[in-house]
Structure 1
Amino acid sequence: MSAPSPTAGPAPLPERVEVVVIGAGVVGAAAARTLAERGRSVLLVERFERGHEHGSSHGATRIFRQGYDVDDYVALTSEALAGWRELEERSGRTLLELTGALDHGRPEMLRGIEAAMTRGGIASERLSPEQAAERWPGLRFEQEVLHHATGGRLSSAEAIEAFLDLAVVAGATLRFGVRVTAVEPIPATGTTAAGAVVRTELGDVTADHVVVAAGSWTPDLVGELAASVGRPLPEIVVTQVQPAHFPTAVAADAWPSFVHYPDDGSSVYGLLTPGEGVKVGLHGGAVHVHPDERDGLAEPEELARLTAYVAEWVPGVDASAPHTISCLYDLSPSEDFVIDRIDRIIVTTGFSGHGFKFGPVLGRLVTDLVDGDAPHPRFALAAHTPPA
């Protein structure tokens, strides 16, 4: 009788690659794809399993909207729209459905959004509350409504898979279940170029560049390094956000994506997730957590706030039957992203609950930094540093 063959352990990591990408959420997946397609050798490492639910990118749907009140974000949404269509064509997947998008509530918000979209060449229309209620009976309106047809719904889980698949086609290596414990810069010497080392539980990997796309875990990995070189990260507040799906009998084609700006200064978002109901969430989240310590359970007071809002403003759903979801926000003080370089380490964080729609753009911005370009001015570390 032959002896049993030994159980194979995990495959070893390469000792050196051009670029290590840490994290397989939307930022890391998009970056790995773009980097590989520009000819870089790429290793993507992800702490959890493929398609996991521990971070910010999981779930079936995300809003796509062009309704921003600043010009550079509006321009980036137009780039993203073209990028999503290109990703659909390349991957053979349907990723973006243009259901239209609404903004309603505080008049000053609508004025700013309308003006920025107009400057960006994006058509929009104003409707009275009565006109809007007739067109979208699942929602209630008290003030004018701003609608643009180029908003809609992204199939978010499918989008990440499309990025990852195309990264592999372009030559990237993906490794899941690999926890990174540290990222350390390697200074240039007389004979050695600068780079960085990624320390993992399976061994170290040396790279010319490292992209830290670990979402709410990014400050843990590079916060001390950033501070030590005089380029500190902004304070990133991690919150557990708990939107919920609510059942509806309203026809699917009567649900746009929407953002509501109530008079209390808050904002609320929503969209239909086919087969699951209408997802509604309070922007920001009030439950501060460390990403390793949340339990994923709905906080009762936050859930009560959400259901009370839905009962008042979303008459087309059953507010008494929420199916809660738990995900993470990594919020910067300005809610602008952080995408910048510290030597050969690309730092990304602070996507503040509105980053997913920019997926193709985020991959391009990260890859531009690896290629030596300057960061986008709004997302640079310097833009997050308050004046002395």
Structure 2
Amino acid sequence: MTGTAGIADTVDVVVVGGGAMGSAAAWRLARRGVDVVLLEQFAAGHTNGASHGASRIFRLSYPDPVYIGLAQEAQRLWRDLEDDTGTRLLTITGGVDHGDHPYLHELADGLAAAGVPHQWLAPQEAAERWPGLRFTTPALFYPDSGRLHADRSVAALQAAAEASGATVRHSTPVTAIEVLGDDAVLVHTDSGSYRARRVVAAVNAWASKLLGGLAPLPPLRVTQEQPAHFAAREAEEGWPSFGHRFADGSADARTFFGGIYGLATPGEGIKVGFHGVGPEVDPDHRDFTPEPTQLAALREYTRRWLPGVDPDDFTPISCTYTTTPDENFVLDRHGPVVVATGFSGHGFKFVPAIGRVLADLALDGAHPDRRFAFAR
């Protein structure tokens, strides 16, 4: 690349952001024969964003048919990616939600309407099936849920993209995006520039910093989320993915920030965390240190509700959430700039399907559901 002389390399599409979403977009674009380069500001395998680690929940359990359909598409594409790369990424463990929040009944109604397998279990039946969890209310079980290996998924997406002709560059921060017209954009880095018809900016927590003025972003709240791995007393392979929701205004909802999620991370224990309640941060200036009040509440939750873990044997972990006011994603295009952000802590399961959506937006402008637009 010869940007130091003011001459830019020319490609069809530049994807900015080599996390899961950007890597998926590069894969789907390259599979369509597009000349694409993927630029990631950090080294491969970094832990600065939202795509690292060994475990993410996969589930079809949404009350919304649009999200259910997107998850079903993603499930098929995860298997395609496994076949393409010879990598195991998606492990089906089953999943269970419980608690006294009416949202569980909304989930059941949505799954029934979509024909997704699920069933209600009595508390005693659920406890016998999963002795590591305590149940006091009926539990909603989803046999098709499971976990994804995040680090392997990102590596597989990038390997598949490269195998289809994409160029992947790590440690290449983008310093600016310059819009030249409806079909022309310059993407500047420290080492030079790229000229392209489109740029796909999948930078999540960095969206406001990089795209301010280039696209009409909704308000984005970036938080440092602080789950932990707890040592398992019950064998890790027997655990489902799980969620526990407390009724609004209840004492448990106040104590445990509304509810928790969890799943096994083989070799590391049982991952348990709160959803989207961490302290707001600048993604470039994080300390990765657990907030003491929330960590204490997480440990107290495990004492009360997870007999299958040791609440005194744990390892804190850290990632970012980038959350929109309605927790719907941002998947839209403004001129030649395609934007992917605001995944609000529940986006990873959809990664390969979102890659397809971003490829559509870049190539023919086809928009997904309106809930993902800049203006909702």
Common topology (TM > 0.5): yes
SS at match of 2:313: coil
For 1:134-173, list aligned pairs within 5 A: 134-173=128-167
Match of 1:6 in 2: none
The corresponding residue for 1:381 is 374
Q: Is 1:351–2:333 an aligned residue pair?
A: no
Matched, 1:69 2:63: yes
- 1:67–1:103 contact (8 Å) kept in structure 2: no
CA-to-aligned-CA distance 1:326-345 (integer Å, 9 cap, x gap): 10000001110001001011
Provide the rounded CA distance (Å) in 1 between the counterparts of 2:203 and 2:330: 12
SS at match of 1:318: strand
Deviation for aligned residue 1:302: 1.5
The counterpart of 1:341, out of the listed 328, 333, 338, is: 333
Q: Is the 8 A contact 2:218 2:375 kept in 1?
A: no
Q: 1:106 offset after TM fit, Å?
A: 2.7
CA distance in 1, matches of 2:174, 2:344: 23
Q: Paired residue for 1:219? A: 208
Structure 1 equivalent of residue 279 of structure 2 = 287
Match of 1:311 in 2: 303
Asked if 1:233 is matched to 2:217, the reply is yes
Question: What is the distance in 1 between the residues matched to 2:329 and 2:297?
Answer: 27
Partner SS for 1:211 = strand
- Matching residue within 269, 278, 287 for 2:270: 278
Alignment match of 1:33 (pick from 22, 27, 43): 27
Q: Corresponding residue for 1:128?
A: 122
5 Å matches for 1:236-275? 236-263=220-247, 264=253, 266-275=258-267
Alpha-carbon distance in 2 for matches of 1:374, 1:17: 21
Cα pair distance change 1:146/1:11, threshold 3 Å: farther
CA deviation vs aligned residue, 1:47-100 (integer Å, no higher than 9, x gap): 000111000000011000111111111111111111111111111111111100
- Whether the 8 Å CA contact 1:335–1:351 is kept in 2: the answer is yes
> Which residue identity lines up with residue 316 of structure 1 in the other structure?
G
Q: Which residue type is aligned with residue 175 of structure 2? A: T
Residue 11 of structure 1, CA deviation: 12
Measure the CA separation in 2 of the matches of 1:267 and 1:182. Answer: 39
Distance in structure 1 (CA, Å) of the matches to 2:51 and 2:278: 19
Distance 2:119 2:181 in 1: 54
**Aligned mate of 1:205, from 168, 189, 194:** 194
- State the percentage of identical aligned residues: 45
Question: Are the aligned partners of 1:137 and 1:254 in contact in 2 as well (CA < 8 Å)?
Answer: no
Larger CA deviation: 289-298 vs 252-261: 252-261
Report what 2:250 is aligned to.
none
User: Which residues of structure 1 form unaligned runs of 5+?
Assistant: 1-9, 189-193, 227-231, 384-388
Q: For residues 92-119 of structure 1, what are the alpha-carbon distances to aligned partners after superposition, in whole Å with 9 as ceiling and x for unaligned?
A: 1111111001111134111111111111
- Separation in structure 2 between the aligned mates of residue 73 and residue 273 of structure 1, nearest angstrom: 25
Structure 2 residue aligned with 1:329: 321
| 8 Å Cα contact 2:74/2:351 also seen in 1 | yes
After superposition, the CA RMSD in angstroms is: 1.6
The range that moved more, 22-31 or 366-375, is: 366-375
Q: Aligned with 1:178: secondary structure?
A: coil
Q: Which runs of 4+ in 1 moved over 4 A?
A: 10-14
C-alpha displacement of 1:174? 0.7
TM-score normalized by structure 1?
0.91
Q: CA offsets, 1:317-375, max 9 Å, x none?
A: 00112200010000001110001001011011100011000011010000010122332
| TM-aligned CA deviation for residue 14 of structure 1 | 6.0
SS in 1 for 2:50: coil
User: Unaligned 5+ residue runs, structure 2?
Assistant: 248-252
Which letter does structure 2 place at the counterpart of 1:255? Answer: W
Per-residue deviation at 1:251?
1.8
Matched length: 364
User: Shift of residue 224 of structure 1?
Assistant: 2.2
